């Protein structure tokens, strides 16, 4: 195994800048790693070997010519297959878009290419980002590198798994209700959902437009901050994009000083239903934060108890609307069109064969919630809960600088264990959903292994809108203290692939 794949993005950046290694060498090492282990992990849906090596050669040529390059120029990355990439498949984990080759790049992809980041390929995901386990991908599940019989989280399990398996040092995910943070928690990696509007969504296939957010994933807090800085910022192509300076996330990650900060522990996120080992590691992390000079305050956000129910009305409603265009006539797959059938028959057969069970379930829920006579009772009421959740956050942030909770209530469960129980699956996002409903930034970082099963546990940090730098400040301080305590990064103890 090449030692290069064990290097973090910031370490690779230093080696590349000093020309101790070339971008081609770094890319090839990671492509070789993918070839060695991805048959078991299945993090990638498409590996772009030629494109990655050409991008790496371009970086090397620019560096040799003396051009000033970005900090991540030549560093490889796995890209969630929900973002349009010119000339490459973008399937969104669905048969509906199995053969779609976009003619354009998403804004985030354009910014990464301009920064010299080397895109290795497209990572697996739950179909149209609906799921918490990556088992709902039309192309088969991704496996957790810690234990190949377990899930890597979802919907962005491919992005988190490629990091944990050392197939890439960086990845991009999207987070609608926890799809960056929950996978990070169960794979021992770092994932950030930026402030809603802080990173352009142009070119991302929409699930729920008021909730979706693209964000950075890495193996360290600093690496994630470096990627955040590349992809963030105003974009006129996204009407929800915030026209304001990007928070100083890299500076905050390098500072990592929390003396005098007030950190709130959310009472409603961590009680019944949380695995004992998850609670134990969380409580220990709170003690570490206190030892670093932070003041710990218990905070109550009572409306959070209704967040899951509100979310599973708002998300399906928006999903029902956004996915209506995939009908066999306008976009995507078309089946049953033999010239003798009506438009309605073709649409019905296309959607039945093109969408998987979970997507169909959520479309049905959303269509019902938006139907005449039920709109006010369901969707309207859910939006009122959303307002109450935002008010709870506002009240909490008048008392503290950041909030914390466990990221996920349990460690990674066995593949197939919850597949037939949608409610049990939905409960995996109970701690992450409030952040999306309020449009706030959140981070998950590893805080140890649960004693029951020796699997990773994540801690979630939440901050006010456009205060993403606070996530990195607190995350870096905690990460540094924990790594010093463990003697090595958590992934070094992984016994999997």
Q: Which residues are catalytic?
A: 80, 155, 179
The per-residue DSSP string of 289-333 comes to HHHTTPEEEEE--GGGGGHHHHHHHHHHHHHHHHGGG-SSSSSS-
DSSP 170-198: EEEEE-SSSTTHHHHHHHT-EEEEPPTTS
The CA-based angle 82-88-93, given to 5 degrees, is 35
Contact between residue 308 and residue 437 where contact means Cβ atoms under 8 Å apart = no
The two three-digit tokens of residue 349, written as one number: 């057969």
Q: Which residues contact 167 (CB under 8 A, 6 or more apart)?
A: 5, 30, 33, 34, 37, 38, 41, 43, 44, 78, 120, 161
What Cα–Cα distance (Å) separates residue 218 from each residue in 139, 161, 198, 207? 24, 11, 18, 24
Write the DSSP string, 405-423.
Answer: EESSSSSPPBTTSSTT-HH
Distance CA 314, CA 306 (A): 12
**Nearest CA to 233 among 222, 219, 247, 220?**
247
3-state secondary structure of 402: strand
Inter-residue contact 475 to 407 (CB < 8 Å): no
What's the farthest any 2 CA atoms get from each other in the chain?
73
């Amino acid at each position: 195994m090449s030692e290069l794949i064990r290097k973090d993005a910031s370490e690779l950046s230093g080696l590349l800048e000093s020309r101790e290694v070339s971008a081609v060498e770094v890319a090839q090492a990671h492509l070789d790693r993918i070839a060695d282990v991805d048959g078991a992990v299945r993090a990638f849906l498409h590996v772009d070997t030629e494109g990655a090596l050409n991008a790496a050669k371009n970086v090397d040529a620019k560096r040799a010519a003396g051009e000033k390059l970005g900090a991540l120029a030549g560093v490889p990355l796995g890209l969630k297959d929900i973002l349009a990439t010119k000339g490459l498949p973008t399937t969104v984990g669905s048969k509906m878009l199995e053969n779609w080759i976009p003619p354009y790049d998403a804004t985030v992809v354009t910014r990464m290419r301009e920064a010299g980041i080397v895109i290795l390929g497209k990572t697996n995901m739950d179909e149209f980002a609906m799921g918490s386990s990556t088992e709902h991908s039309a192309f088969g599940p991704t496996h957790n590198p810690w234990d190949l019989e377990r899930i890597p989280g979802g919907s962005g399990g491919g992005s988190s798994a490629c990091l944990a398996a050392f197939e890439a040092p960086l990845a991009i995910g999207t987070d609608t209700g926890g799809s960056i943070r929950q996978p990070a928690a169960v794979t021992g990696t770092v994932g950030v959902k930026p402030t809603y509007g802080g990173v352009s969504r142009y070119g991302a296939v929409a699930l729920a437009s008021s909730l979706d957010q693209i964000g950075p994933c890495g193996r360290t807090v600093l690496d994630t901050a470096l990627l955040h800085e590349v992809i963030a910022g105003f974009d006129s192509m996204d009407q929800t994009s915030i026209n304001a300076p990007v928070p100083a996330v890299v500076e905050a990650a390098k500072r990592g000083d929390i003396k005098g900060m007030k950190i709130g522990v959310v009472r409603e996120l961590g009680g019944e239903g949380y695995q004992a080992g998850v609670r134990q590691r969380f409580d220990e992390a709170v003690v570490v934060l206190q030892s670093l000079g932070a003041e710990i305050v218990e905070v109550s956000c009572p409306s959070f108890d209704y967040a899951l129910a509100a979310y599973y009305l708002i998300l399906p409603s928006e999903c029902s609307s956004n996915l209506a265009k995939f009908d066999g006539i306008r976009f995507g797959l078309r089946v049953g069109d033999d010239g003798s059938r009506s438009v309605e028959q073709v649409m019905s057969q296309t959607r039945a064969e093109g969408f998987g069970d979970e997507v169909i379930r959520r479309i049905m829920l959303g269509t019902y919630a938006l139907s005449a006579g039920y709109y006010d009772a369901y969707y309207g009421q859910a939006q009122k809960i959303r307002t109450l959740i935002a008010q709870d956050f506002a009240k909490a942030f008048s008392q503290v600088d950041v909030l914390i909770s466990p990221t996920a209530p349990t460690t990674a469960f066995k593949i197939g264990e919850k597949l037939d129980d949608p409610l049990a699956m939905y409960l995996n996002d109970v701690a992450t959903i409030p952040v999306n409903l309020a449009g706030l930034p959140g981070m998950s970082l590893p805080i140890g292994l649960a004693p029951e099963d020796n699997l990773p546990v994540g801690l979630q940090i939440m901050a006010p809108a456009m205060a993403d730098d606070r996530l990195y400040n607190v995350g870096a301080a905690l990460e540094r203290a924990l790594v010093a305590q463990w003697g090595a990064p958590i992934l070094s103890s992984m016994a999997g692939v």
